[in-house]
Structure 1
Amino acid sequence: MKFFQYLAMFVAGTLFLYVYGQIMPREGPVWSVLYFVIGIPALIFLVYGIQQFFKRLPGA
């Protein structure tokens, strides 16, 4: 079960960073800071959500 949890976090994190990198503009100092200020907490929240999902599954 742990393997699937780590696999889900890896796939979701990779997909999130790819899509986020395509959407978010990176030009200029303000956008460069916002790129990390928004992206890193969002990624942490995504991984936390996946962990909570797997904890609630029966047999976990």
Structure 2
Amino acid sequence: MSAFLFALLLVFIILAIVAWPAWGHTQDRWPYTRGGRYRYYPSAGAIVAALLVILLFWVLAPPMAV
């Protein structure tokens, strides 16, 4: 289970990097063409998901398992 969660964490981190609006492949696609903070939503969502995996399975779960 921990190997799966580690792989999922890596996927979320890679997705956060790839979805960043400064990359050339994201400039002409939705939601990056809209102004404002909409451009950062895909990357921010991946970062939030990665932080949830870290918080729920590596910070909170081990103390609760004891």
Task: Name the one with the larger helix percent.
Answer: 1
Q: TM-score, normalised by structure 1?
A: 0.48
